[in-house]
Structure 1
Amino acid sequence: MKILFIGSSKYDYLQDILFSGLYKILGSENLKTVNFHKNYFLPLKDYPKNLGFNKKSILTFQPFGLNLQEFSAVVVGSSKPDTFRTFKKLLPKIPPHCKIIYVDGGDEPEIGGDLKRLNVAHLYPNKTERPFDHIFKREYLLNKDYNQNVHPLPFGFNFDRLNKNERLNFKYDVSFWAVESDPIRSKALKMIENEFDCSKNGTKLTQNFSDYNRKGNFYLEELNRCKITLNFRGGGWDTLRYWEVPAMGRFMISQKPGILIPNDFKEGQHIIHPKKDLSDLVEICNYYLENENEREKIAKSAEEHTKKYHSDIVRAQYLIDIITK
């Protein structure tokens, strides 16, 4: 199939992961873009703003001579305003045989909710315009009913961003480097900031992203050095950390996500979930610090599971399989 990918010029994690996977599967012959995605085409940004970068992907850029009749599908890759402005210009020209796919990677649980949050809800197709054939939703809530054409699509991981031969020595016991974008993060930090080595490794309250001293590839290296990493929801249930830690073969204790994740990590086999009130959080950390073999067995299993089910390539193939049924 041949796909036209319309995305934001700014980074968007789900959009970037999906573009990377589609490029690896389809190549520049069957994947085209109309926007100049400098972060995809040029090695300008550090992790995680480089999740969509692939060498030679600039060959997907087709600003002139676009023939929409050639395409099987148009993918609207994000909920960013510039993505939708480009899409709305092309919408009247999209032929009936060409499916229109919307990838909603925003934090808001409503379909297109981020457009409303950004005060551009008018950009979403109205009742007189052609509807989306399929919608892929990152924050696909477990307690919400969706139409049959809405499918769960969480973040994944682009394994090109890791040094595959690097296995760093442990330096930290328990870490949770995060801004307090949800009350449960504040609760967890209050419980552990004076436990283990948290106060020494920077696991503390009132952090600001702009003040992080762990950024880019160094952030991934530091995560790699943690025996235990905690994960709790932020603006959305889905977080990059939920995929980064197991992708590196490291051990994660995480709040159970309130979204549908196909082939999610299994409790006790790939991941450990604390109680909802976190009353056993410190106890669980102590247990897995003391039981290294059990901890590392779970971490290794999570790494294998992530490679099999949650890479950028798997995310792209999942989308392709659904829209070609």
Structure 2
Amino acid sequence: MLRDKAFDLVCVASHRSDCLANLERLSRTVPLPPIVYIDGADDSRIRHEVDARFQLAAYFKREYRWTSTSKVGHFVDCARAFHFNRRLFERTHPFTMCVVPDAIPQHHGCAKDIDVSFYGIASHQKRAQAMALLEPLAHEGLTVAAGLYAAATDKAYKLEATTLKRLIAKIRDPSTVPEEIQRRKLSPEDYYRTLARSKVAVSIRGGGFDTLRYWEIVASGTFLLSEKPDIVIPHNYEHRTHAVFCRPDLSDLQELVRYYASHDAEREAIAGAGHAHLLKFHACEPRAAQFLEICRNAL
């Protein structure tokens, strides 16, 4: 079929050596159509080795952090990331995750009896900081459903919120997390039901900013409280229209939880607008259309 030119492009979505080796072997057998690459890693590294091997027609980057109109500091970061390769820069596009709406359970009519929820794996210090801010709200009378979990191989220091405590824990307690921490992870059924019951659901970055929770909360029809993205997200949620963004240092997180947990009409209006916006721009079908449009322009 490749010899008959039945395909307009080749889409590569892995940088594993065996995948790239297979593609290279195939390219030596038959001429390939233009190759586009989807980099779904949760880091901001540009994989120049992939472009060098295949001269990519387009590069889709999940954790895209650069724009051509950035400030000087960001320009320097961009130049470093792309190795002053303007051709690759111009062919690289932001491409975040999306959701399949039918895969998100809808618990219509579910009582909103949880004021704020946040569950996540301990993959970033800021998640531990968020936990340290949310847990005290329970002493104010708010209903808090939150927990950090970790894998069996994770070290216990990852649960600490401050840099000093993490350093001390690394020295004093190099052990892995206990089983009770591992068991904090909710089942999919419990997770989605918790989202549906939540007045406010918090999303905090993990290994990268683009996490499923950022999209799942809104897809569940629940109000999203998140950090402001530090990556480029085309058609992102608008602050106080589709979601609410807290300060990067989380200093207003508690204040925003208190406010929106008690202002039902304002909160639910934002949640509803966010859900409609997600279906228009961030469900699987519009994301596929965005992908194809970029490919069409690149080819």
Interval containing the TM-score (normalised by the shorter chain):
0.7 to 0.9
Are residues 1:175 and 2:111 paired? no
Q: Which amino acid aligns with 2:19?
A: T
Matched letter for residue 103 of structure 2: R
3-state secondary structure, aligned to 2:273: helix
Distance 1:258 1:85 in 2: 33
**1:188 and 2:123 equivalent?**
no
Aligned to 1:104: 39
Of 151-160 and 141-150, more deviation after overlay is shown by 141-150
Specify whether residues 164 and 252 from structure 1 end up closer, same or farther in structure 2 by C-alpha distance, changes over 3 A only. closer
Q: Is the 8 A contact 2:104 2:216 kept in 1?
A: no
**In the TM superposition, what are the counterparts of 1:1-325 in structure 2 within 5 Å?**
67=3, 69-93=5-29, 95=31, 98-112=33-47, 124-125=49-50, 127=52, 129-142=53-66, 143=74, 144-145=77-78, 147-163=89-105, 166-196=108-138, 202-205=145-148, 207-208=149-150, 210-325=182-297
Q: CA deviation at 1:178?
A: 1.2
| Equivalent position of 2:70 in the other structure | none
CA distance in 2, matches of 1:66, 1:321: 22
Q: 1:67 to 1:99 in 2, by over 3 A?
A: same
Aligned residues: 248
Name the structure 2 match of 1:32.
none
Q: Distance in 1 between matches of 2:121 and 2:134?
A: 15
User: Structure 2-normalised TM-score?
Assistant: 0.75
Contact 2:105–2:220 under 8 Å retained in 1: no
Q: Is the 8 A contact 1:174 1:196 kept in 2?
A: no
Take 1:168 and 1:91, find their aligned partners in 2: how far apart are those partners?
54
What are the ranges of 5 or more consecutive residues in structure 2 without an aligned counterpart?
67-73, 83-88, 152-181
The sequence identity of aligned pairs, in percent, is 30
Give TM-score, length-normalised by structure 1: 0.69
- Per-residue Cα deviation, 1:169-212 (whole angstroms, up to 9, x for no partner): 2232111101221121111111111213899755145x225424
Describe the superposition over 1:129-182 as per-residue Cα deviations: whole angstroms up to 9, x where unpaired: 431110000000144536100000001111120245745322321111012211
How far does residue 68 in structure 1 lie from its aligned partner after superposition?
Answer: 6.5
Deviation at 1:293, TM superposition (A): 0.4
Residues 119 and 147 of structure 2 are in contact (CA less than 8 Å); yes or no, is this contact kept in structure 1?
yes
Deviation at 1:271, TM superposition (A): 1.0
User: Against the structure 1 CA distance between its residues 71 and 284, is the aligned structure 2 distance closer, same or farther, given a 3 Å change threshold?
Assistant: same
Please say if residues 77 and 83 of structure 1, whose CA atoms lie closer than 8 Å, have aligned partners that are also in contact: no
The more displaced of 193-202 and 153-162 is 193-202
Q: Does the 8 Å CA contact 1:79/1:106 hold for their aligned counterparts? A: no
Contact 1:75 1:100 in 2 (8 A): yes
* Contact persistence 1:159–1:311 (CA under 8 A): yes
Contact 2:105 2:192 in 1 (8 A): no
Higher helix share: 2
Q: CA RMSD in A?
A: 2.5
The 3 A distance-change label for structure 1 pair 204 and 222 is: closer
CA–CA separation in structure 1 for the residues paired with 2:216 and 2:18: 28
Instruction: Say if 1:175 and 1:229, in contact at 8 Å, map to a contact too.
Output: yes
